[in-house]
Structure formats: structure tokens, C-alpha cells
């Protein structure tokens, strides 16, 4: 199946793949990259106040020649420069050159000052004022979502989180909680096992599946995320990769494929945790040895 629209709890819908601008920076490079993504078929653009490229994304959007209804635009409140939500959303839509965004997110729970209910009420006002069709959050865990839902008059439609096989154990419960409460999960950094942590347990099953489907490994991981029911937020500055990402929506994995990637992801997470523990233990040992040496030099006894 292709990258279909996913229904949201307020009657609207969201494209199930988005082009993210997180790593682009600013300037003409960002304009060209967003323009290229739109030209190959991405109709969901994901940016944020803190990415500092809303203006560039806006230029590409205007130059695309597409009508406003043909694009889904997400941006986020990042607390940049200490600005509040009412000011930030107005700055964002001005930078983007639009009258509203389709989805406005709180970028992180740490921005919920003085508390989640107070900040969420400001987000609700954003939607009531017509500045965003839908509102949601990013990087919220289950207890934080529970706190939000306890006071919300408008339920969040989405929660954008880190999601890839090596964090499946910690992040899948957030996805499942969202499913139970009508909150769509959006996944960023799905390709980290291939791009940042190559050589791990996920590589083998992904390659086997890729060979069978005549696909690329990154397409398999994107298809895996799609099978989990999440919206995928991804990026590249290479046209051929973007084409491949869109084509990944046509790949269907078997239950066995998905299970093999899940199992490898959990195994990889354990190995990474073990490496982190050993690294910290080694650092502690070095610090301890240095402390003992210093104390011995100063004639201090440590018991």
C-alpha cells in the first residue's frame, strides 16, 4: 500500500510520511532541499521554531505553486528566545507565509512551564483562533500524556517521538497508549540503525528482506515503521533517496519480517545498554585510579 492518509481524532487526516527540515539549517540550501522534496511528491513538510528554517520552508512552499490545501504543514513551539506560544505561532505562520498550519506541536515536555495543563490550554487557544487546524505534542511519555489528557478540552491528535528498532522496547508503549486514546504517533530518526549505528543486529534481517523485495535497506526500515502504524518523518538532500522513501510505501512486510526486525532491535538495545554500562564503569575506574593516585601523592589515606 502507498503512504496513505491517517485519520486524526478531530476528523482531519495527516499524510503518513513527512519531509523533515531538522538537519537542513538555513539559507538557500534549505529552500532548495524543501523545494526538491515537494517536487518529488512529499506533501507533508515538518519544521519547527528551533530549526530556524521556517522562513526557508515557506519560500519553497510558495514557490511550489501548490494550493494551500495540497500541502500539510507541521511546525512546533520550541520556546525559542523565550517567546510564548501566542507570539511563537504568529511568528511561525508569518515565516511560513501561510494563514494557518495544519499541525502545531509542543516540541518537548520541558517547555510545559509552569505545568502541562496551563501550556496545553494555550495550545487549545491556538486551535480555537484558527491558527492551527490540529494541535499535538512531541517527545511526551505515557505519564505526561496522561497528565495532559486529564485536563484537556481538546485532545492532542499526535505525539512525535524518537522511533526505531533499537528503542522499540521503550517507545512502543507510547505508541500503544496513543492508539488506545486516539493519538497518532509520529516517528523521527527511523533510519538511525543504518545511518548512525551500522553494524548492529538489525542490519542482517533488514538486508535479507531487502534482497528478497529487491529494495534498499532504508526502504525496509521505513516499511517496518509504516507497519507499526506511525507517521514517518524523514529527510535527505538526495533526490534518489527521496524517491526511494516514497516508493517504500508500496512495500509490504510479512509478520515474520516485522518480528525479525523487532527481535534484532531488542537485542541491539541490550548490547548498546551493556556497552554504555561498560563505558561508564571504565570511566569510573579511571577517575577512581586518578583519585587514589592524587591522594597517595598528598599522603591521604582512603578507607
Q: Annotated catalytic residue: which of 51, 104, 188, 245?
A: 51
3-class secondary structure, 71: coil
Is 51 part of the annotated catalytic residue set? Answer: yes
Q: How many CB atoms lie within 10 A of CB 180?
A: 8
Cell 531538522 sits at which residue?
A: 22
Q: How many CB atoms lie within 10 A of CB 71?
A: 17
Query: Does the annotation flag 55 for ligand binding?
Result: no
Cell 507565509 sits at which residue?
A: 97
* Helix 255-297 / helix 217-227 crossing angle, nearest 10 deg: 100
How many angstroms separate the CA atoms of 78 and 92, rounded? 11
Note the Cα 13 to chain centre separation in Å: 18
- Find out whether 34 and 56 touch, Cβ atoms under 8 Å: yes
* Helix 54-63 / helix 85-96 crossing angle, nearest 10 deg: 40
Which run of H or E residues covers position 89? helix 85-96
Binding site residues, as ranges? 107
- Give the active site residues: 51
Binding site residues for substrate, as ranges? 107
Amino acid at each position: 500500500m502507498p503512504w496513505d492518509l491517517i485519520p486524526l481524532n478531530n476528523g482531519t487526516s495527516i499524510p503518513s510520511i513527512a519531509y523533515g527540515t531538522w538537519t537542513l539549517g538555513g539559507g538557500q540550501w534549505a529552500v532548495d532541499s524543501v523545494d526538491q522534496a515537494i517536487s518529488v511528491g512529499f506533501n507533508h513538510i515538518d519544521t519547527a521554531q528551533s530549526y530556524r528554517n521556517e522562513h526557508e520552508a515557506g519560500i519553497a512552499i510558495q514557490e511550489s505553486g501548490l494550493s494551500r490545501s495540497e500541502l500539510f504543514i507541521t511546525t512546533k513551539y520550541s520556546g525559542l528566545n523565550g517567546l510564548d506560544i501566542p507570539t511563537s505561532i504568529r511568528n511561525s505562520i508569518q515565516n511560513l507565509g501561510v494563514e494557518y498550519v495544519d499541525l502545531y506541536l509542543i516540541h518537548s515536555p520541558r517547555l510545559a512551564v509552569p505545568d502541562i495543563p496551563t501550556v496545553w490550554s494555550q495550545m487549545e487557544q491556538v486551535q480555537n483562533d484558527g491558527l492551527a487546524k490540529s494541535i499535538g505534542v512531541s517527545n511526551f511519555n505515557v505519564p505526561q500524556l496522561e497528565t495532559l489528557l486529564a485536563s484537556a478540552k481538546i485532545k492532542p491528535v499526535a505525539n512525535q517521538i524518537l522511533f526505531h528498532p533499537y528503542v522499540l522496547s521503550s517507545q512502543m508503549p507510547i505508541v500503544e497508549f496513543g492508539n488506545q486514546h486516539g493519538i497518532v504517533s509520529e516517528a523521527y530518526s527511523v533510519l538511525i540503525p543504518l545511518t548512525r549505528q551500522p553494524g548492529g543486529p538489525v542490519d542482517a534481517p533488514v538486508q535479507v528482506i531487502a534482497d528478497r523485495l529487491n529494495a534498499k535497506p532504508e526502504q525496509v526500515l521505513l516499511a517496518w515503521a509504516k507497519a507499526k502504524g506511525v507517521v514517518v518523518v524523514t529527510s535527505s538532500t538526495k533526490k534518489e533517496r527521496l524517491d526511494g522513501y516514497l516508493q517504500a510505501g508500496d512495500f509490504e512486510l510479512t509478520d515474520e519480517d516485522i518480528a525479525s526486525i523487532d527481535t534484532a532491535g531488542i537485542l541491539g538495545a541490550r548490547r548498546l545498554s551493556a556497552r554504555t554500562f561498560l563505558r561508564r564503569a571504565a570511566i569510573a575506574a579511571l577517575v577512581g585510579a586518578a583519585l587514589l593516585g592524587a591522594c597517595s601523592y598528598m599522603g591521604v589515606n582512603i578507607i
